[in-house]
Structure 1
Amino acid sequence: MFKKLLAMTSSTQMLVAMFVGFAVGIFFGESVGWLSTIGNGVILLMQMTVLPYIVVSLIGGIGKLQKSTAILIFSRAGLIMLLLWLVGIVLTALMPLSFPFIESASFFSTSIVEPVEPINYFKLYIPSNPFESMAAGYVPAMVVFSIAMGLALIGMEGDNKTQVLSFMHTITETFSRITQGLVKVLPIGIFAMSAAAAGTMGVDEFASMQVYLISYFVLCLLLTFVILPWIVCSLTPITYAQTVRITKASLVTAFATGNIFIVIPVIIEECKQIMREHNNLSEDGLTLIEILVPIAFTFPNIGKLTVILFVYFAGWFNGTPVEVSAMPSLSISGLLSLFGSVYVAIPFMLELVHLPSDLFQLFVMSGFITGKFNSIAAVMNLFALTLLTVCLFQGSLKLRPPQLIKMSAGLLISTVVTILICRVGMGLFIHSPEITSGVIANMQVADKVPTKVKRQFPEVGKTPSQPIAGVQDIIKRGVLRVGYIPSSVPFSYYNNAGQLVGFDSAMATKLAEDLNVEVEFIPFRKKTLSASLDAGFFDVAMSGLAMDIKQMDSLSYSDPVLELNVAIATKDHRVNSFKTNQSILEMENTTIAYVEHDDKIKEAKRVLPHLTFVKIDGYKDFFRQKGDKYDAVVISAEAGSAWTLFFPGYGIAILEGKNRYPVAYAVAQTNQSLLNYINNWQKLRKVDGHQQEFYDYWMLGKGATTPQPRWSIIRDVLHWVD
């Protein structure tokens, strides 16, 4: 059995390793999750030679060209290659339109408010210090340096050049031998990652992976059998049928082996043969074909460019789609990074658009399947590039308006139809995991003291007032009265069971527990807060209160409990339009609601006179509005994220600049005893971790759902483990 495995081709070994890994993961479940460590180790080993290989292969490959050959290739073939790259990049960027739209939301994450370090494009593309570029992994800069070195060698003569090229060739061969050796252990890494993924990844996540696999397969097939052949038959004398016929053997071989290099001789001979059939092959044309195919092989092809689709998928999968403004930078950087290995390019691109590096494991796990499809796209790209270049060289390329119109119409129609079919099909049959209102609506406060919740608002002048109670009065009374604002998600709100829950409800319960008293919650409206405190309706207000300068002379705030981030909540499709100050300045006919932050709104009205600001009683008035009376609402990112769990059609936009504000608890201005106690108690609970525990649960959603063990045969069928 072991000898049979060794006798298999590397691609077959990887395929077997994948299926065996899936089987092991499904059988053993989460207990094999540790295998991901082995998988990561193998992948890091595979990356060992990639960066230096880029340098020596490009320098040696370009440096050995004759000047006339280099001019011909870089002027004519280079232009066609750039145009084909553009087709591949644009089509890959359009393919995410086929991803199904899922209305989903998530708890607040501190990562969305962390400052994003801007990309240093000078360091990324200009190798001012090539050694720094290599150490930092700036692949585009390394490619620029290597091309410059190769071009400089073209103009040199003598033994020194020969020695340099010989050295580069030797080092390239050395790296190739190392890589060939490492490829032998790659099936082990594939097995380990497949087993770990199958053992730990939920069914919903597997369903999401289908989105990438289906869209990727469709993209490669579209390029291979529609786009590239259509370009060839529209601009050259070669028909579509002839294009498919001459590429058939190479496509089958490349798909079966996942290896493009072995079909290079076949591509050369088939291109010669089809040009002879059209009596359009001179001696110079023959030489061009023989030179062009091997050289073009060393450059990124359309098949390789399609892996950029994974980065778009990773953004969709992560709930943070790549923005349109970032696509040009991603495409150019991705193209230059793909001069090397995809195992370096993908992590680089994920970091470029600020996506979690952990998603790279999904790419590796599916890489040898998708690799077979991008191999056929790569082969068709080599055919198209060679045939178009030779026809241009021979003067038989059709560049008249009728041919260009025919080609453009065919590309447009085939692309639109394909994307629509994929979008509808995946939308019907594939569903991505969603965090629904059921999660936050079923969260509970771990009550450790008797709790009573009143729902009727006391009215100043009508409801009997009570004496302001200090700490000793509260202890003697045996009840802590806490004011709350209903529907102040996630600070104080009613869950599905009708219980008052939330961050501040939990903090109030803990405060009552420490005072060894019961807790009673009384609702209030913020505009009557100071009067309600003075009337003794409740002892302390705890409900996500933003510290208000106007009220500081009529009540006392505790030390800040939290610092929240000002944000904008709006419909999902409008979120991006609120992310920059410039886009907000360009808005028209926009109405923005607000509940608090009067001082900030006053400044906003001065700076943004073209916007309409309307004060509302509560955030529920915005999220539950009928029609589109308000376009957006000013809210904290923490509260806004919680509201979007109830209303997934809305999203959160973090405003530019420093927009933070404190929230605190409030007591009557004369209640210094209770204020001192709350301040000291709060410091204690910050240090011992209780406040952080409540924050993690109510704001970040940690522990909001109970993770279920991954289904496995060993647990759920054989019942060998619990």
Structure 2
Amino acid sequence: MLTKLRAMQSSTQMIVAMFVGFGVGLFFGESVGWLSNIGTSVILLMQMTVLPFILVSLIGGIGKLKRTTASLIFSRAGVIMLLLWLMGLVLVALMPLSFPFVETASFFSTSIVEPTTPIDYFKLYIPANPFESMAAGYVPAMVVFSIAMGLALIGMEGENKRLIITFMHTCSEIFAKITQALVRVLPIGIFAMSASAAGTMGVDEFASMQVYLISYFVLCLLLTFWLLPWIIASLTPVTYTQALRIAKSSVVTAFATGNIFIVIPVIVDECKQIMREHESLSDDAETLIEILVPIAFTFPNIGKLTVILFVLFAGWFNGTPVDISDLPSLSISGLLSLFGSVYVAIPFMLDLLHLPQDLFQLFVMSGFITGKFNSIAAVMYLFALTLLTVSQFEQRLKLRPPQLLKLSIGVVVGVALTLVVSRVGMGMLIHSPDVTSGVIANMQVADKVPTTVKKQFPILGKTPSAPIANVQTIRQRGVLKVGYIPSNVPFSYYNNAAQLVGFDSAMASKLAEDLGVKVEFIPFHKDHLAESLKAGFFDIAMSGLAMDINQMDELSYVDPVLKLNLAIATKDHKVNSFKRKQSILALQNTTIAYVEHSDIIEEAKANYPNLTFVKIDGYKTFFRQKADNYDAVVISAEAGSAWTLFFPGYGIALLESKVQYPVAYAVAQDNQSLLNYVNNWQKLRKVDGHQQRLYNYWMLGQGATEDTPRWSIIRDVLHWVE
């Protein structure tokens, strides 16, 4: 059996390893999750020769060219190559339009407010210190440095140049041999990552991978069998049918082996033959073909550029789609990084967009399926580049308006039709995950303290008032009266069992437990908070209260309980419009609702005169609106994330300035006894971790769902393990 495996082609071994890994993962489940460490180790080994290989191969490859050849290639083929790259990058950028719309929502995550390191574009692209660029993994800067050295070598003569080029080619061979040796262990890495993913990845995640695979296959097939042949047929003497005919054997071979290098001689011969048929092959043109194809092979091809689609998919998969403004930077950085290996380029691009590096494993697992498709796109790209360049050299390139119109119509119609069909097709296959509102609607307060919840609001002048109760009085009567705001998710709200729950409800229960008393919850309107406390309707207000400077002379706030992040909640398709000041200023006929933060709203009115601000009674007024009276609402990111669990059609946009504000509990102004007690109690509960546990549960959703083991044959079919 082992002998048969060794006799297989490396690509076949990898495919076998992937499917065997899936089988092992499904059989053993989560118990093989540790295998991801082996997979990561193998990939890191594969990356170790990439940066040095870029350096020596580009310097040696460009440096050995003659001046005339280099001038011809960079002036004529270079322009065509850039145009084909541009077309490929634009098409990749458009493919996410085919991704199905999936409503998702999640609890607040601290990662969205963590400061991100700004990209230093000077270091990214300019190799002021090439050694620093290599050490920091700035692939684009390394490519620029290598090309500069290669161009400088072209202008040199003598023995020293020959020695340098020989050294560079020797190093290239060394790195190639190391890579070939490491490829032998790559199936082990593929097996390990496939087993780990199959054992730990949920069904929804597997379903989402279909989006990437389908869109990637469609992209490569569109390039191979429509766009590139259509460009050849529109601009050169070669017809569409002839373009497909001459590429047929090379495309089939590249797909079967996943290897482009072995079909280079075939591409050269086929290009010569088809140009002879059209009497467009002089001796110089024949030489150009022989030189151009091998050199073009060393540059990123359009098939290689298609892997950038994975980064766009990763953003969609992660729930943070790549913003349009980030596409130019991603495209340029991706193009330059793809001068090397995709195993360096993809992690680099994920890091550039602050996407989880764990997603790289999904790319590696699918790489040996997608690799066959990008190989056929690469082969057709080499045909297109060669035929277009030779036609231009022979002055047979058709650039008149009729041909350009024909080209434009074919490209636009083909791309539009492909995107529409893909979007509709995947929309039928991929469905939104189960509604997440059931998670937050079934959360419960853990502390079992005798509790009474009143739903009738006390009315000033009608409801009997009571003296302000200090700590001793509260203990004597045996009840802590706590004011709450109904439907104030996630601080105080009713769950599916009609129980009052939430972060502050849980904190209030713990406070009552530590006082040794029962707890009674009384609802209140925030506008009447100070009067309600003074009237003794309740002892303390605990319901996500933003500290209001206008009320500080009427009541007393305890020390801040939390710092929340100000945000905007709006419909999913409008979220990006509220992320940057410039885009907010461009909005017209937009109404923003708010519940609190009057001081911040006054400042916003001055900064954004194009917006209309309207105060509402509560957040449920916004989220449950039926007439779309409000386009967005000012809310904390923590509370907004919780509301989106009930209404997954909404999303959260953090303000560009990252504004924070404190929330605190409030007591009557003269209740110094309770103020001191709660301040000291809160310090204790912060130190012992109780408050943090409640924050993790109610804000971050940790423990909100029961973690069940991933389905596996060994557990759920054979019942060998519990």
TM (norm. structure 1) is: 0.99
| Count of aligned residue pairs for this structure pair | 722
SS class of match (1:662): strand
Percentage of identical aligned residues: 80
State yes or no: 1:275 paired with 2:275: yes
Partner of 1:488: 488
* 1:445 is aligned to 2:445: yes
Other-structure match for 1:265 = 265
Q: Which whole-Å CA distance do the structure 1 matches of 2:602 and 2:415 have between them?
A: 49
* Mean CA deviation greater in 429-438 or 157-166: 429-438
Q: Deviations over 1:143-199 (max 9, x none)?
A: 000000000000100000000000000000000000000000000000000000000
Q: SS of the counterpart of 1:481?
A: strand
- Residue 502 (str. 1) matches residue 502 (str. 2): yes
Q: Distance in 2 between matches of 1:135 and 1:77?
A: 33
**2: distance between equivalents of 1:69 and 1:539?**
87
Cα deviation digits, residues 574-593 of structure 1 (max 9, x gap): 11111111222222221111
1:75-474 aligned within 5 A:
75-433=75-433, 436-474=436-474
Counterpart Cα distance in 1 of 2:634 and 2:549: 18
| Secondary structure, counterpart of 2:100 in structure 1 | coil
Match of 2:36 in 1: 36
Following TM superposition, by how much is the alpha carbon of 1:447 offset from its aligned partner in structure 2, in angstroms? 3.1
CA contact (8 A) 1:61 1:150 kept: yes
Are the aligned partners of 2:453 and 2:522 in contact in 1 as well (CA < 8 Å)?
yes
In 2, the alpha carbon distance for the partners of 1:300 and 1:384 equals 14
1:542-561 equivalence runs, <5 A:
542-561=542-561
CA drift of 1:434 comes to 5.3
Instruction: Give CA-to-partner distance per residue, 1:527-575, whole Å, 9 cap, x none.
Output: 1111111111111100000111111111110000001111111111111
Stretches (4+) displaced over 4 A: none
Q: Which runs of 5+ in 1 are unaligned?
A: none
CA distance in 1, matches of 2:633, 2:362: 37
- Give the whole-Å Cα distance in 2 for the aligned partners of 1:243 and 1:350: 36
- Paired residue type of 2:559: D
Q: Distance in 1 between matches of 2:507 and 2:600?
A: 28
Distance 1:67 1:605 in 2: 63
| 1:207 and 1:432 in contact (8 A); partners too | no
Amino acid at match of 1:64: K
**Cα contact 2:103–2:432 (8 A) shared by 1:** no
The answer for the alignment partner of 2:55 in structure 1 is 55
SS in 1 for 2:94: helix
Instruction: Output the CA distance in 2 between the equivalents of 1:162 and 1:53.
Output: 19
In the superposition, the TM-score normalised over structure 2's length comes to 0.99
Distance 2:634 2:41 in 1: 47
Q: CA deviation at 1:88?
A: 0.6
Residues 10-68 of structure 1 show CA distances to partners (whole Å, capped at 9, x for unaligned) of: 00000110010011001101100000000000000000100110000000000000100
User: Structure 2 CA distance, aligned partners of 1:369 and 1:435?
Assistant: 33
The answer to whether the aligner puts 1:72 opposite 2:72 as a matched pair is yes
Q: Partners of 1:135 and 1:502 in 2: how far apart?
A: 49
1:462 deviates by: 0.6
Q: In the TM superposition, what is the alpha-carbon distance from 1:658 to its structure 2 partner?
A: 4.3
Residue 617 of structure 1 and its aligned partner are, at CA, apart by 0.7
Per-residue deviation, residues 332-354 of structure 1 (Å, max 9, x unmatched): 10000000000000011011111
8 Å contact kept, 1:204–1:431: no
| In structure 2, distance between residues paired with 1:611 and 1:47 | 51
Contact 1:105 1:434 in 2 (8 A): no
Letter of the aligned partner of 2:528 in structure 1?
T
Check the 8 A contact 1:437/1:647 in 2, yes or no: yes
Q: Which amino acid aligns with 2:692?
A: Q
Tell whether the 8 Å contact from 2:113 to 2:658 is kept in structure 1 after alignment.
Answer: no
* Contact 1:127–1:141 under 8 Å retained in 2: yes
Structure 2 distance, partners of 1:86, 1:605, is 42
Deviation of the 1:435 alpha carbon? 5.6
Q: Report the Cα distance in structure 2 between the residues aligned to 1:626 and 1:29, rounded to whole angstroms.
A: 45
Is the Cα–Cα contact under 8 Å of residues 246 and 270 in structure 1 kept in the other structure? yes
Q: Tell me what 2:516 maps to.
A: 516
Structure 1 stretch 573-582 or stretch 691-700: which is displaced more?
573-582
- Aligned-partner SS, 1:711: coil
In 2, Cα distance between equivalents of 1:608 and 1:202? 44
- Deviation of residue 606 (structure 1)? 2.4
In the aligned structure 2, how far is the partner of 1:214 from the partner of 1:609?
A: 45
Q: 1: CA distance between counterparts of 2:309 and 2:291?
A: 31
Residues of 2 paired with 1:610 and 1:94: CA distance?
Answer: 31
- In structure 2, C-alpha distance between the alignment counterparts of 1:537 and 1:133, rounded to whole Å: 66
State the Cα deviation string for residues 448-501 of structure 1 (Å, max 9, x = none): 211111111111111111221111111121111110000111100011111111
Amino acid in structure 2 at the alignment position of 1:144: V
Q: 1:525 maps to which residue? A: 525
In structure 1, C-alpha distance between the alignment counterparts of 2:202 and 2:600, rounded to whole Å: 44
CA-to-aligned-CA distance 1:390-425 (integer Å, 9 cap, x gap): 111111111111011001100000111111111001
Partner Cα distance (1:589, 1:229) in 2: 47
Quick one: structure 1 residues 57 and 434, their matched pair in 2 at CA, closer, same or farther if it must change by over 3 Å? farther
State the distance in 1 between where 2:587 and 2:430 align: 36
CA contact (8 A) 1:315 1:322 kept: yes
1:667 aligns with 2:667: yes
Q: State the 1:252 CA deviation.
A: 0.9
Residue 237 of structure 1 deviates from its aligned partner by 1.0
Q: What 5-or-longer segments of structure 2 have no aligned partner?
A: none
Q: Deviations over 1:225-255 (max 9, x none)?
A: 0000000011111111111111111111111
Q: C-alpha offsets along residues 679-702 of structure 1, whole Å, 9 cap, x if unaligned?
A: 000000001101110111111111
The one-letter code matched in structure 2 to 1:511 is L
Q: Is the 8 A contact 1:226 1:414 kept in 2?
A: yes
Secondary structure of 2:60's counterpart equals: helix
RMSD: 0.9
In the alignment, which residue of structure 2 is the partner of 1:587? 587
